[in-house]
Amino acid sequence: MRKKTVLITGGAGFIGSHMCEKLLNNNYAVICLDNFITSSEENIKALFRYKDFRFELRNVSNHIGIPGKIDYVLHCASLASPEDYLDFPIQTLKVGSLGTHNALGLAKNKKAVFLLFSTSEIYGDPLVHPQKESYWGNVNPVGVRGCYDESKRFAEAITMAYQRVHKLDTKIVRIFNTYGPKMRHNDGRVVPNFILCAISNKPLTVYGKGQQTRSFCYIDDLLEGLLRLMLSKINQPVNLGNPDELTIMQLAKLVLKITRSKSKIVYRQLPVDDPRQRQPDISKAHKLLSWKPAFCLQEGLERTIAWFKG
């Protein structure tokens, strides 16, 4: 009996490479596409031991032609770190627009299920708290973060258009802050930044007064939610994240405590358009997918810190 085949764009990135492994361990054949602009071949090195894993060096902002049967297309390709999309704003816009269009075209051609990896950033600096899927967001389209926020908002819009016009079976996941092993050392996001500084006893940089809030989801929890959504009949956006909200200052102190670091905390000016609060309402995922996070922040950080030390 033929294994079902999943094609995943951006499959060598942090979330993408974990998802490839999750799918392989659940008896799927996986085709991974990536161009390594912000990802790493190291992330997928161990996956070549699976006979059902295939990698192709591709820029999905160009046409995607893949022979053979494909059952699911997962569009994960993205420049998701603020440092990345500030360095590569045009590539960020292209992969969110042209890349999504190409991935949808492939799914339509193969009659495959399509899953868009979207983001909590579509809510911008939210005026509603916590953020439900029904909230339309508060985004500055011409700000420095607009290239990422608006590329994802466009990606959601074209995904819904393909669902309505072409009757494509599409799903949209809005991913809130996720962390874990395989995050890049120079990722620029707060968790790897704090961990790397703490384990080397360098100062931890906190922006503003550190009172902006985030909610951090461990990668294993996210993967379980992604797989459940992929196999579901849900065709509307779904939030996946951990609803336990804390301030950036609280996160800094927790990392220092776990690592027993002697690092000091230093303060810098708050970046432009930095969201003041971020917390997912996951009642939809809990009700329709029977999903909720299993890992508390301390346990997830301990695992992540161990990986960074290794």
Query: What one-character-per-residue DSSP string does 187-200 give?
Result: --SHHHHHHHHHHT
Residues 76, 115: Cα–Cα separation, whole Å: 8
pLDDT for 65 equals 94
What is the location of CATH 3.90.25.10 in the chain? 190-212+245-278+299-309
pLDDT for 85 equals 87
Provide the residue type at 212 as one letter. Q
Active site residues: 148
**Burial annotation 128-157 (CB, 10 A radius, 16+ → b, else e):** eebbebebebebeeeeebbbbbbbbbbbbe
Q: Under 8 Å CB-to-CB from 14, ≥6 apart: which residues?
A: 39, 43, 178, 180, 182, 183, 184, 187, 219
Question: Which CATH number fits the domain 190-212+245-278+299-309, given the four candidates 3.40.50.1100, 3.90.25.10, 3.40.50.150, 3.40.190.10?
Answer: 3.90.25.10
pLDDT for 193 equals 95
Q: Which residues of the chain have pLDDT under 50?
A: none
Topology of the domain comprising 5-179+217-243+279-294 = Rossmann fold (3.40.50)
Contact 243, 280 (CB under 8 A): yes
pLDDT for 75 equals 98
Angle 242-244-250 from CA coordinates, rounded to 5°: 120
Closest CA to 241 of 108, 123, 70: 123
Closest CA to 243 of 139, 76, 129, 135: 129
The single residue listed with the structure tokens 């790897």 is: 192
Q: Measuring CA to CA, how many Å separate 53 from each of 28, 31, 33, 117, 158?
A: 9, 6, 11, 21, 29
The first and second tokens of residue 208, run together, are 């503003």
Contact 219, 179 (CB under 8 A): yes
Residues 309, 196: Cα–Cα separation, whole Å: 9
In 111-260, which ranges are continuous DSSP H helix?
A: 146-166, 190-199, 219-230, 248-259
How many other CB atoms are there within 10 angstroms of residue 261's CB atom? 18
The first and second tokens of residue 191, run together, are 């968790």
What is the location of CATH 3.40.50.720 in the chain? 5-179+217-243+279-294
